[in-house]
């Protein structure tokens, strides 16, 4: 019986048949010692951990016990079940799958680590946020701290003995860091005294580890207002002695945890730094470069959130598919057979194929971002390296926003497939939908991602990076035009790409003359870009699947490849095909949401 949590066959198809990593990545540069068989061993091991150990801890309530983070007597306690998971996860080396062996890592390509992570996240996002943020904070220390601090902190963070967070948001400030109030006062020994409050800090405090390391944005006293005056500091929960042992408490006090719609197992904390004047921080990077430093972690987290969107969508789809095969109801309209599995009903099949096509397209979109990171490491010249770096820049806001936005569509359809049962906690799709919603919000709302793409990313390198991304599928389009079964879809994708490029040009002109039109359209435009890119990726997958059908050695393999082709056709002919019309609508001078007075929304 197919898994309700992971789709190993699909991941291997993407890695080996679509991206062809065995020839184009493995055996090169830092990946010289790796081959496809080794990668498959990692994927298989990750699937077992995900399904056998992580998935059973997913429900908000297991055997009558709440799987919530708890705040009691000033302390935060992670769910009891997470302690064993943390140990298994860290001892298995999953914290450092793609990290340098210098710090105990395994050095695999990022796309391999991301593939493993996609299965973990689909089984329990709330738990995976604890090691995910630890890894992000450790990578920031690796890049921006002194060797002395690296040697103290990295071994214990990468091993999972200590945890990590990311501390940006403050009460009342939201995403606007210009009004940041946390301060840093110079001390004679070169350290800084930190004072301020941060809120909505995921994994901010818990008992899975003995120490938690916080990268904290703060303004050094006397530095200018606005983001240009912000620095960033390494602030441990407990100070660390030169020999690496724990010292005294560092005046980082947890004020409480949030009670949220979803991700109940993750502790979302308010942290008070230096209320007693005894909080010490260490400068990371250079003074007044806090935003530049933090965005190295922020971009990693945004890509990770995109993967969260993909993973929850995939799991929800697999659960809905399993349910549809087992749930008996109604008659088959064509055969007259009574009391049949609901997968035989046309509308249920439509919902399932829509879920399948969206989640599969999102998966390749997200993994392509990690593929681009790996390609930088094996690039043969600076121009090639720059091309792939540009791809990552363009893809980051798209991956974060589109994958979570469309992931929520999949989650909604999964609930719908269950009918009334999908709305009940008896089945996990209800929780998956609640958990998915936060992914459209944190690490920069999807509206912020859209503004980033429109206002900053598309113009980078005079628009050449965006052009390279949008024309990256030209070879696949040309190949598909020569295949009768795919030529119509190739034409649809090509037309959508041309519409996106023309709209980008038109919006660039409007920003100087009528900026409200592109600003209002930013989110919808980003989604159109995603619809187009996923159309390309589906076409790419259909090309490889066509070859797979021809060489399939079993009926199940033939069915797998046929499913890929039909999934591609469904997405391209029902979603990508709408892009040109949507782009025409977005360019219309329709600014009613600007013209309407505030009181006009409701009196």
Active site positions, annotated:
443
Burial 507-532 (b: 16+ CB within 10 A, else e): beebeeeeeebbbbbbbebbbbbbbb
Alpha helices in 340-422 (DSSP H): 346-378, 382-418
Cα angle vertex 142, ends 140, 146, to 5°? 110
Single out the residue of 267, 377, 260, 301 nearest to residue 117, CA to CA: 301
C-alpha span between 28 and 401 (Å, rounded):
32
In terms of C-beta density within 10 A (0-12 exposed, 13-18 middle, 19 or more buried), how is residue 359 classed? buried
User: Strand 238-240 relative to strand 75-77: parallel, antiparallel, unpaired?
Assistant: unpaired
Residue 244: which H helix or E strand, with range? none
Alpha helices in 244-341 (DSSP H): 290-326
Burial 185-207 (b: 16+ CB within 10 A, else e): beeeeebbbbbbbbbbbbbbbbe
Whether the CA torsion 23, 25, 31, 32 is positive or negative: it is: positive
Structure tokens that stand for 204 in this block: 């901010």
Half-sphere exposure of 71 (CA within 13 A, CB side): 18
Q: What are the backbone angles phi and psi of residue 271, rounded to the nearest 5°? A: -115, 130
C-alpha span between 218 and 197 (Å, rounded):
10
């Amino acid at each position: 019986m197919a898994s309700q949590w992971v789709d190993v066959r699909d991941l291997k198809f993407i890695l080996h048949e679509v991206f062809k990593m065995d020839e184009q990545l493995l055996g090169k540069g830092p990946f010289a010692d790796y081959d496809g068989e080794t990668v498959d061993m990692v994927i298989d091991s990750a699937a077992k951990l995900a399904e056998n150990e992580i998935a059973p801890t997913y429900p908000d309530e297991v055997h009558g016990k709440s799987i919530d983070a708890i705040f009691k007597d000033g302390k935060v306690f992670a769910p009891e079940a997470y302690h064993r998971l943390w140990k298994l996860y860290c001892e298995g080396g999953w914290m450092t799958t793609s990290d340098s062996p210098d710090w105990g890592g395994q050095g695999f390509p990022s796309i391999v680590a991301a593939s493993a992570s996609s299965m973990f996240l689909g089984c329990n996002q709330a738990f995976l946020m604890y090691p995910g943020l630890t890894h992000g904070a450790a990578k920031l220390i690796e890049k921006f701290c002194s060797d002395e601090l690296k040697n103290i902190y990295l071994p214990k963070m990468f091993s999972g003995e200590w945890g990590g967070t990311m501390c940006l948001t403050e009460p009342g400030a939201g995403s606007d860091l210009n009004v940041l109030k946390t301060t840093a006062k110079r001390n004679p020994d070169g350290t800084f005294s930190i004072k301020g409050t941060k809120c909505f800090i995921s994994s901010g405090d818990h008992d899975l580890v003995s120490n938690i390391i916080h990268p904290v944005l703060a303004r050094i006293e006397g530095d200018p207002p606005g983001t240009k005056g912000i620095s960033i500091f390494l602030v441990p929960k407990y100070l660390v002695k030169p020999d690496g042992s724990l010292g005294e408490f560092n005046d980082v006090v947890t004020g409480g945890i949030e009670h949220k719609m979803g991700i109940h197992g993750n502790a979302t904390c308010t942290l008070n730094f230096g209320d007693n004047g005894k909080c010490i921080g260490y400068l990371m990077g250079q003074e007044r470069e806090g935003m530049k430093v933090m965005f190295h972690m922020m971009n990693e987290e945004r890509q990770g959130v995109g993967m969260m969107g993909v993973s929850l969508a995939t799991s929800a789809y697999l659960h809905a598919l399993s349910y549809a095969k087992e749930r008996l109801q109604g008659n088959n309209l064509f055969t007259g057979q009574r009391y049949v599995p609901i997968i035989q009903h046309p509308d249920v099949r439509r919902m399932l194929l829509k879920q399948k096509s969206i989640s599969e397209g999102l998966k390749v979109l997200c993994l392509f971002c990690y593929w681009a990171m790996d390609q930088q490491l094996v690039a043969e010249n600076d121009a090639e390296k720059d091309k792939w770096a540009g791809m990552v820049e363009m893809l980051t806001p798209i991956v974060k926003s589109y994958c979570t936005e469309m992931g929520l569509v999949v989650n909604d359809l999964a609930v719908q497939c269950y009918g009334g049962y999908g709305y009940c906690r008896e089945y996990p799709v209800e929780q998956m939908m609640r958990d998915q919603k936060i992914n459209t919000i944190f690490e920069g709302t999807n509206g912020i991602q859209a503004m980033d793409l429109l206002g900053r990313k598309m113009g980078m390198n005079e628009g050449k990076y965006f052009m390279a991304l949008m024309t990256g599928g030209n070879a696949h389009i040309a190949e598909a035009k020569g295949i009768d079964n795919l030529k119509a879809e190739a034409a649809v994708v090509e037309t959508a790409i041309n519409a996106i490029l023309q709209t980008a040009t038109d919006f660039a002109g409007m920003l100087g003359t009528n900026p409200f039109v592109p600003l209002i359209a930013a989110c919808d435009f980003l989604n159109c870009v995603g619809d187009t890119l996923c159309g390309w990726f589906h076409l790419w997958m259909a090309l490889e699947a066509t070859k797979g059908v021809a060489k399939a050695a079993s009926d199940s393999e033939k069915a797998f490849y046929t499913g890929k082709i039909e999934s591609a056709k469904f997405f391209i002919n029902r979603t990508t095909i709408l892009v040109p019309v949507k782009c025409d609508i977005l360019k219309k001078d329709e600014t009613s949401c600007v013209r309407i007075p505030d009181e006009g929304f409701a009196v």
